[in-house]
Amino acid sequence: MAEEQQKIAILSVFDKTGLLDLAKGLIKHNVRLLASGGTARMIRESNFPVEDVSAITKAPEMLGGRVKTLHPAVHGGILARNLESDEKDLAEQGISKVDYVVCNLYPFRDTVAKIGVTIEEAVEEIDIGGVTLLRAAAKNHARVTTLSSPNQYHDFLKELEQGDISEKTRKLYALEAFEQTADYDDAISRFFRAKYAGDGLQHLSLRYGANPHQKPAAAFMRNGHLPFKVLCGAPGYINLLDVLNSWPLVKELSRALEYPAAASFKHVSPAGAAIGVPLTEIERKVYMVDDIEGLENSPLAQAYARARGADRMSSFGDVIALSHKVDLPTAKIISREVSDGIVAPGYSPEALEILRKKKGGKYLVLQMDPDYEPPSEETRQVYGVSLLQQRNDAQISPSDTFATIISPKENSKLPGTAVRDLTVATIALKYTQSNSVCYALNGQVIGLGAGQQSRIHCTRLAGDKADNWWMRFHERAINLKWKKGVKRPEKSNAIDLLCSGSVPKSGVEREDFEKNFEEVPSVFTEEEREAWLSKLSEVAVSSDAFFPFIDNVFRTARSGAKYIAAPTGSQNDQAVFSTAEKLGITFVEQHIRLFHH
């Protein structure tokens, strides 16, 4: 019987924590140690038997230590399988199999984190041989055990005491090695991306993250270029969150309904979204665009007027998304509103000139590649944990999504305006922080409740906003007598107080309200509010998940709901359906849950 070949371990570590204990344990089990550079020196100085890697490569370390383990005698021994053909190759070359690879890498991430580190210094910390050792050993984990961290040594030695390393352990160690080399490569590419591609094409440094103390911050693509160009200003982290949620909303909305679309975004949810349905004369006044020249010839401008007009208070300081090339009337509307930035597929020269003057030349103007399609999978990191999911690429189709009418049964088809408004509401929800409920009318969002833990609170919030929106069409709100010099934000705030029934009764707050007017308007009585709100009708309501209780239906009815679209699946479905029918509301099953976080 042939004598069993002595097992071999190759050791090459930067972090030498626990190295001597590991060496002692391996020697105890008659493992031959081969090591490189400082690893060999430390083991030898502790009087443990160890050989330099050159004992099998027959070649010295060279190039100042850059080449130590890159040799067929090393990698042939690691990558060899238990195959007759591999055994034959090893015998012809005089190479022995390697059973254990112990390696950790130069501290590239720590080096580049130092202030003022040069490219030359960073380059010297890029581990070549170590990464190759880990990858080779991890690839051949069916036979080879890969140790990539000192944290593994204790359990490894404990298992070795019991005989040999199990297949399960080798698999887990191989995974850790692959994770480590992937993270290492990511750190390297991130450093050089910032150095060599920091022109905004692939990597874009941001001022800070969600808050000023969160530095550094960046936007980047691992493959290819960023899908947008910065034409003016400097984007922030939250700006880009808004941009990358609002752009797909308007792109999808425009594609679904074949109209130009617009969205007004704040804190990663739409304050308003709309398509370019022509504005009536009254709507132009309510949305403060009745003086915009050329408005009637620009569906895009009318779409943004609707999106901004849905909830002017929430839209203050918005990020704007527009599905089509920005024209002059649209730019004129934006020029006088308080806004942080805009994203669109293009800009006319006249429109771009206007926008570049906004905020003293610091207004954010992004041009989006309209043909860009994101990968099918998306990842994010929360508290150091990486999460992966398939991107929500569900399509909201006017012809298919709202085809199943649950009640009343005799309704076989929805009016075209209802389908349009349900489409607007549902696509808006797809890009709104959950829980969320949306009310829509006339091709636009009129009330949206986002990010509430309870669905009824979403429904109430959205309904209150819809009520507020409708109160702005009351003759008293339209014909307010403003003092000269009152600015648009102050007008919006005063209108909101009046229409929401929140006008202060007395004191400094009341004085602050009254100072805006030549003629102070009388507040709406409860009877006046009820009388006017009773005229709101044909409203379409969509929910990103099922309505669990009938209180949601009652609340939508108070704000003119005529149509509801929502997923089903609640134990209380039948009660919800029958309540809707009693209230004269058509309930449509929307088959796709649309949670968004």
Secondary structure (H, E, C), 396-444: CCCCCCCCEEEECCCCCCCCHHHHHHHHHHHHHHHCCCCCEEEEEECCE
Which band of pLDDT confidence, cut at 50, 70 and 90, is reported for residue 108? confident
Residue 463 has pLDDT above 70, yes or no: yes
Active-site entry in 16, 139, 359, 491? 139
CB 539 within 8 A of CB 466: yes
Half-sphere exposure of 227 (CA within 13 A, CB side): 16
- How far, CA to CA in Å, does 288 sit from each of 328, 513, 518, 560? 17, 20, 19, 24
CA 311/CA 489 separation, integer angstroms = 12
Residue 1 has pLDDT above 50, yes or no: no
Rounded to the nearest integer, the mean pLDDT of the chain is 93
CA 164 to chain centre: 45
Identity of the residue numbered 512: D
> What is the per-residue pLDDT for 377?
92
Does the active-site annotation cover 71? no
- Phi-psi sector, 463: left (phi>0), alpha (psi -120 to 50), beta: alpha
Q: What is the mean pLDDT of residues 333-345?
A: 97
Active-site entry in 267, 325, 457, 491? 267
Residue 534 or 76, more confident: 534
Instruction: Specify the range with the lowest mean pLDDT, choosing from 115-129, 301-315, 517-531.
Output: 115-129
Q: How far apart are the first and last CA of the chain?
A: 65
> What is the per-residue pLDDT for 111?
83
> What is the per-residue pLDDT for 576?
96
β-pair type (586-589, 217-220): unpaired
CB-based contacts of 296, cutoff 8 Å, min separation 6:
278, 279
CA-nearest of 72, 75, 101 to 7 is 101
Residues in the chain: 597
CA 328/CA 322 separation, integer angstroms = 13
Structure tokens at 529: 């509010």
Residue 195 has pLDDT above 80, yes or no: yes
Which band of pLDDT confidence, cut at 50, 70 and 90, is reported for residue 3? low
Which band of pLDDT confidence, cut at 50, 70 and 90, is reported for residue 54? confident
CB 43: neighbour CB atoms within 10 A? Answer: 24
> What is the per-residue pLDDT for 412?
78
Q: What is the mean pLDDT of residues 86-96?
A: 88
Which band of pLDDT confidence, cut at 50, 70 and 90, is reported for residue 179? very high
> What is the per-residue pLDDT for 418?
96
Which band of pLDDT confidence, cut at 50, 70 and 90, is reported for residue 4? low
CB-based contacts of 234, cutoff 8 Å, min separation 6:
206, 207, 362, 364
Percent of all residues in the chain with a pLDDT value above 70, rounded to a whole number? 99
> What is the per-residue pLDDT for 117?
84
CB 546 within 8 A of CB 525: no
Q: What is the DSSP string of 75-128?
A: HHHHH--S-HHHHHHHHHHT-----EEEEE---HHHHHTSTT--HHHHHHT--S
pLDDT single digits (tens) 428-447 = 999 999 999 999 999 999 99
Instruction: Specify the range with the lowest mean pLDDT, choosing from 357-366, 405-414, 536-545.
Output: 405-414
CB 439 within 8 A of CB 462: yes
Which band of pLDDT confidence, cut at 50, 70 and 90, is reported for residue 2? very low
Percent of all residues in the chain with a pLDDT value above 90, rounded to a whole number? 79
> Dihedral of CA 541/547/553/558: which sign?
negative
Does the active-site annotation cover 58? no
Q: What is the mean pLDDT of residues 91-104?
A: 92
Instruction: Specify the range with the lowest mean pLDDT, choosing from 216-230, 331-345, 531-545.
Output: 216-230
CB 99 within 8 A of CB 144: yes
CB 153 within 8 A of CB 21: yes
pLDDT single digits (tens) 228-269 = 999 999 999 999 999 999 999 999 999 999 999 999 999 999
Strand partners, 321: 263, 343
